[in-house]
Amino acid sequence: MDDFDKESEEIDDFIEEKSEKKFDNSIDQLEKKGIDYNRIRNIDQSKKRAVIESVFDERTVFNLNKLLINGPLDRVEGVISAGKEANVYLAYDTEGNEVAIKIYKIDSNTSRWMRNYIIGDPRFKKIPHNVSKTIFLWASKEFKNLKRAYKVGLSVPKPIYIRNNILIMEYIGFESIPAPLLKDIKTPKEPLNLFSEILNFIKQLYNKAKLVHGDLSEFNILYHNQQPVIIDISQAVSTQHPKAEVYLARDIKNIFNFFDKLGIQTSNPEDFYYDVINIDV
Ligand SMILES: Nc1ncnc2c1ncn2[C@@H]1O[C@H](COP(=O)(O)OP(=O)(O)OP(=O)(O)O)[C@@H](O)[C@H]1O
Ligand SMILES: [Mg+2]
């Protein structure tokens, strides 16, 4: 019996014992207390319920409950974002600090496209066929990417904990108000500084952390204390990945387009691309 089967048995016992009390409370809380309803994507209540239920399969319920009973979590406060692949919650750890929890949904469509990013990455030699295992690998990939970027001093949330499809990281926001996404900031205070901070992020991520984000845009950058904090780094690939340069060019294009639209005079994206990969043209 491998760890996966052993855990499945534990889960069955857990469900039979009907010891989900603490979690039930959390579910109630999540449904009643959206932190900031304006921030939750526009979904009606019935959809929200479906979203929560689809995230919380039995294994996730079991693992989340373990984290609430044994730490590091004290309570889950509410939904920050309910998305297609993952939901993000504001929670508190046992010391009363805010943390963000990202829970990936166990979904076969999701696991199918995820495989494209995992195949070809030299860090992942064994590619699982099982849907759950692919999602767990994906979540651990986000955790590892966060660690790599954080270690070289880049502006990403500090990774705290990973278990299967549950990732805990530093919460970016002020008290219960999560930081806004850059896409919602119409007039950033010092746009040129912001632009150069983000370009610097791309460059350092490539040259120091040896990664390419792969989904970088104003939709995955939080604006906090007038500084960018880059999130959603799960699909980031190693610079050795066969498509690394294609993803890099796309990331650069997205950022230049955003600042062009803001009316900032940007330099030439192509020059910047060659600058990142250290080629003199
Ligand atoms: N550490 C954090 N602190 C505060 N808010 C966060 C944090 N991480 C994520 N968020 C919020 O949650 C949202 C979704 O997070 P993220 O971009 O990582 O997930 P996602 O993979 O895009 O989810 P989906 O694609 O399913 O919508 C973000 O747009 C942001 O508003
Ligand atoms: Mg995102």
Q: Would you say residue 281 lies in a domain?
A: no
Q: Are residues 200 and 272 in the same domain?
A: yes
For the question of residue 215 being annotated catalytic, the response is: yes
Q: Are residues 41 and 151 in the same domain?
A: yes
| pTM of the predicted protein model | 0.84
**pLDDT tens string 226-262:** 999 999 999 999 999 999 999 999 999 999 999 999 9
CB of residue 35 inside a 6 A radius of ligand 1: no
For the question of residue 13 being annotated catalytic, the response is: no
**pLDDT tens string 85-101:** 999 999 999 999 999 99
pLDDT confidence of residue 210: 97
Ligand 2 center to 214 CA (angstroms)? 11
Q: Are residues 60 and 136 in the same domain?
A: yes
CB of residue 81 inside a 6 A radius of ligand 1: yes
Amino acid, res. 30: L
Q: Are residues 120 and 246 in the same domain?
A: no
For residue 172, give the ligand 1 atom closest to its CA: 3
Q: Are residues 126 and 23 in the same domain?
A: yes
What is the SS3 string spanning the chain?
Answer: CCHHHHHHHHHHHHHHCCCCHHHHHHHHHHHHCCCCCCCCCCCCHHHHHHHHHHHCCHHHHHHHHHHHHHCCEEEEEEEEEECCCEEEEEEEECCCCEEEEEEECCCHHHHHHHHHHHCCCCCCCCCCCCHHHHHHHHHHHHHHHHHHHHHCCCCCCCEEEEECCEEEEECCEECCEECCEHHHCCCCCCHHHHHHHHHHHHHHHHHCCCEECCCCCHHHEEEECCEEEECCCCCCEECCCCCHHHHHHHHHHHHHHHHHHCCCCCCCHHHHHHHHCCCCC
Is pLDDT above 80 for 12?
no
Q: Are residues 149 and 59 in the same domain?
A: yes
Q: Are residues 250 and 171 in the same domain?
A: no
Q: Would you say residue 124 lies in a domain?
A: yes
Q: Are residues 220 and 149 in the same domain?
A: no
Q: Which of 143, 177, 211 is the last residue of a domain?
A: 177
Catalytic residue of the set 93, 107, 121, 215: 215
> In this structure, what token pair is assigned to residue 58?
């039995």
Which of 47-56, 104-113, 121-130 comes out lowest in average pLDDT? 47-56
Is pLDDT above 90 for 164?
yes
Higher pLDDT: 49 or 226? It is 226
In this structure, the residue with its CA closest to atom 17 of ligand 1 is 232
Judge contact between 150 and 142, C-beta under 8 A.
no
Residue among 223, 230, 188, 192 nearest 209 (CA)? 230
Q: Which of 127, 152, 177 is the last residue of a domain?
A: 177
Is pLDDT above 60 for 212?
yes
In this structure, the residue with its CA closest to atom 10 of ligand 1 is 88
Q: What is the CATH number of the domain that holds 24?
A: 3.30.200.20
* 28 CB neighbour count, 10 Å cutoff: 10
Q: Name the residue range of residue 72's domain.
A: 3-177
Is pLDDT above 50 for 80?
yes
Q: Looking at residues 218-230, what average pLDDT do you find?
A: 97
Q: Are residues 155 and 34 in the same domain?
A: yes
- How many domains does the chain divide into? 2
Q: Are residues 136 and 188 in the same domain?
A: no
CB of residue 100 inside a 6 A radius of ligand 1: yes
Q: Which of 120, 145, 177 is the last residue of a domain?
A: 177
Q: Are residues 142 and 231 in the same domain?
A: no
Q: How confident is the model at residue 61 (pLDDT cuts 50, 70, 90)?
A: confident
Q: What is the CATH number of the domain that holds 249?
A: 1.10.510.10
CB of residue 139 inside a 6 A radius of ligand 1: no
Q: Are residues 158 and 207 in the same domain?
A: no
What are the Cα distances from residue 59, in Å, to 48, 122, 130, 140, 243? 20, 29, 15, 16, 34
